[in-house]
Amino acid sequence: MSMRGQPIVEHHGIASGTEMSTWATLKRGFVLSPELKKGIWVTVALAVLSTLGRVLVPFVVQRITDEGLLADGGPDLGSVAMYIGVALGGVVVTAFSAYFVNIRLFQASENGLATLRTKAFRHIHDLAMLTQNTERRGSLVSRVTSDVDTISTFVQFGGLMLLINVAQITLATVLMVVYSPLLGLVVWVCFVPLFVIIRKFQGIVGRAYTRVRERVGDMLGAVSEAVVGAQAIRAYGVEERTAQRIDAAVEAHRKAAIGAQARSVIAFTSGQLVSGMTTAVVLVVGTVLAARGSLTLGELLAFLFLVNLFTQPVQQATEILNEMQNAVAGWRRVIGIIDTEADVADPGDRGVTLPRGPITVQFNGVGFAYPGGDPVLHDIDLTIAPRSRVAIVGETGSGKSTLAKLLTRLMDPTTGTVQLDGVDLDSIRFSTLRSRVVLVPQEGFLFDGTLLDNVRFGRPEATEDDVRLTLTELGLDPWVATLPLGLATDVGQRGESLSAGERQLVALARAYLADPDLLVLDEATSAVDPSTEVRLQRALDSLTRGRTSIAIAHRLSTAQAADEVIVVDAGRIVERGHHTDLVRLGGVYAGLHDSWVAQQTTV
């Protein structure tokens, strides 16, 4: 990949959706996880029922006190027993409806979040390669893991509790007004400032949680260096420096977490403060009223129960609103990725399905520039005939890798079009494009599993015999024989149990087994020893007859074997033709060839 003018990517490149309002986030979240809404009204009805039960109990307690305990002429055991019976009924109703509410909520939320996770995961793979590269891999992972997890607590309890709390606050208000309109007013007057404060705190707490989530990403990035870079760190003795970098990230996370905690504590305790002070004010005002004879002591005490009924849901709601900010911060990040446009997109059903067979490649006036950078390819016109074997050569940074990425549609050209068999690349369905055109990059990633599974990654239905045949055809049997368990050898995570050259052999076999009509090799054998490479080259020569193959290479042995060599320099095609002719021409290729030959000569 050329760097000329390519802007260096920034972290947190993909929108976290910070500009999205809480309400818009919630709305979009529900659209993306339709399961959350499924049967929600039954759940709400059950929740209201369980709330009624909860409200009934203190109400009954108050009645017992008033009509049973404090009855004229001593306690009335009969009415106490009757009310206790009613209250027990309430308890049973509450317990049962709460049970069903819990289960329904867990089912709805877990189903909804599983859908959200899989949607986001799939969409990340659908994003253009350049978009994927703007974000750390760890950060992408957090979008389908911990970000979703922060949502779950809120959807499982918070969301519904908030509704119930509002219902309970309303009910308590009605009851308070029935008991004493004046004291009801007093309670509300006390709470108005709290509602104002809560609104203000929402933003503050929300931003604090967003910071925490970002610091988590940084911290994971720093820790992963100690793990993935273990060899480099030891080779250069930079353990101490790495430790300091990790410490800084850990410390930044700790500070952010404590900062968020402090803000949410302040928000929460302000609710508690107002609740407590309201009780005090009610007692004071109530005493005045009672002294004037407009309220009995029993009514005043009963009213205190009601105040409790009112303040508890308010306090809980403040807590839930804090939690909601945490959830919304996570939700925004997941939505941010789902709503990022996949700009190198599969045309899907509207697209063209190409029949199988050798492919003609055409570049028509193709230019390419990385976002915000200078052009790295200029006005490329090129036709590659079917069944031909083409080598693209050029100096590092000449744009030859960019050509490969354009023709496999990992990126779309800035100007001009790329065509396969006369069809614009961007109107070919991915299902045919990816099965017919395969790129083997320089660093072929291997999955943690056996050699067998890795080779058949591109064609999972292939049998073990198919895999053996492929390796034999590529002349890799002697190599497989040196592996401790042959095909069953575990390649380790990222294939790290193998050497870099061996990983390239696996990647090549994997692509070959996928049986494409156009094979694009981007420095695919750069770490393989010469005699293996030559053997491989010969095998590929005979095997790729009948299909089109394009190899990008700096080892010119590949170019020599090709039907045609295309020489790229500074983003333009400067020479093309057969190896022998180009050497004779005495131009750029001849220069490259001279230095290659110089490297191979014995004297």
Rule CB under 8 A: say whether 205 interacts with other proteins. no
Q: Using CA atoms, how far apart are residues 336 and 319, in angstroms rounded to an integer?
A: 26
Q: How far is the CB of 449 from other proteins (least distance, A)?
A: 10
User: In the complex, what is the shortest distance from the CB of residue 344 to other proteins, in angstroms, rounded to a whole number?
Assistant: 9
User: Interface with other proteins includes 189 (CB under 8 A)?
Assistant: no
Q: Which of 23, 41, 72, 292 binds other proteins (CB under 8 A)?
A: 292
Could you say which residues in the range 251-270 bind other proteins, by CB under 8 A? 251, 253-254, 257-258, 261-262, 265, 268-269
Smallest separation (angstroms) from other proteins to the CB of 23:
27
**Which residues inside 20-59 make contact with other proteins, applying CB under 8 A?**
57-58
Single out the residue of 103, 121, 101 nearest to residue 111, CA to CA: 103
Which C-beta is closer to other proteins: that of 132 or that of 173? 132
Strand order in the sheet with 375-384: 375-384, 361-369, 415-420, 423-424
Give backbone dihedrals phi and psi of 76, rounded to 5 degrees, phi first.
-100, 95
Closer Cβ to other proteins, 70 or 543, answer by number? 70
Place of tokens 């017919």: 436
Q: Binding segment for other proteins among 123-131, 179-187, 464-472, 569-577 (CB under 8 A)?
A: 123-131
CB of 118 to other proteins, least distance (A): 5
Question: Binding of other proteins at residue 561 (CB under 8 A)?
Answer: yes
* Least distance between other proteins and beta carbon 235 (Å): 4
Least distance to other proteins, CB of residue 37, Å? 17
Query: 17, 29, 159, 441: which one contacts other proteins (CB under 8 A)?
Result: 441
Q: Output the six-digit token pair for 235.
A: 């080779």
Rounded to 5 degrees, what angle do the CA atoms 381, 386, 391 make? Answer: 65
Closest to other proteins by CB, 3 vs 189, is 3
CA pair distance 603, 598, nearest whole angstrom: 9
Question: Contact, 474 vs 541, CB < 8 A?
Answer: no
> At its nearest, how many Å lie between other proteins and the CB of residue 24?
26
Q: Do the bridges between strand 361-369 and strand 548-552 make them parallel or antiparallel, or are there none, so unpaired? A: unpaired
* Binders in 563-582 for other proteins, by CB under 8 A: 579-580
Does 147 interact with other proteins (rule: CB under 8 A)?
no
Residue 269's alpha-carbon distances to 281, 310, 317, in angstroms, are 18, 16, 12
- Kindly provide the b/e burial profile for residues 207-245, where b requires at least 16 CB atoms within 10 angstroms of the residue's own CB: bbbbbbbbbbbbbbbbbeeeeeeeeebeeeeeeeebeeb
Would you count residue 598 as binding other proteins (CB under 8 A)? yes
The window from 95-103, 189-197, 464-472, 543-551 that contacts other proteins (CB under 8 A) reads 95-103
Among 23, 235, 422, 542, binds other proteins (CB under 8 A): 235
Name the DSSP class of 29.
H
Q: What is the rounded CA–CA span in Å between residue 434 and residue 457? A: 13
- Residues contacting 123, CB < 8 A, separation 6+: 337, 338, 340, 342
Helix (H) / strand (E) containing 392: strand 389-393
Question: Within positions 148 to 167, which residues make up the interface with other proteins, using CB under 8 A?
Answer: 149, 152, 156
Among 19, 41, 72, 237, binds other proteins (CB under 8 A): 237
Chain positions 374 to 433 lying near other proteins, rule: CB under 8 A, are 395-397, 401, 408, 410, 430-431, 433
Minimum distance, C-beta of residue 136 to other proteins, in the bound complex (Å): 5
Backbone CA torsion sign across 284, 290, 291, 297: negative
Contact between 229 and other proteins (CB under 8 A)?
Answer: yes
Least Å from the CB of residue 414 to other proteins: 18
Nearer to other proteins, 222 or 328 (CB): 222
Kindly identify the residues of this chain, within the stretch 486-545, that bind other proteins according to CB under 8 A. 488-490, 492-494, 496-502, 505, 507, 510-511, 514, 523, 526-534, 537
User: What is d(CA 147, CA 213) in angstroms, rounded to the nearest whole number?
Assistant: 8
H/E run at residue 201: helix 181-228
Residue 247 CB, shortest distance to other proteins, in Å, is 6
Three-state DSSP string of 112-137: HHHHHHHHHHHHHHHCCHHHHCCCCH
What residues between 65 and 94 interact with other proteins by CB under 8 A?
Answer: 65, 68-70, 74-75, 77, 80-81, 84, 87-88, 91, 94
Instruction: Assess 211 for contact with other proteins (CB under 8 A).
Output: no
With CB under 8 A as the rule, give the number of residues binding other proteins: 199
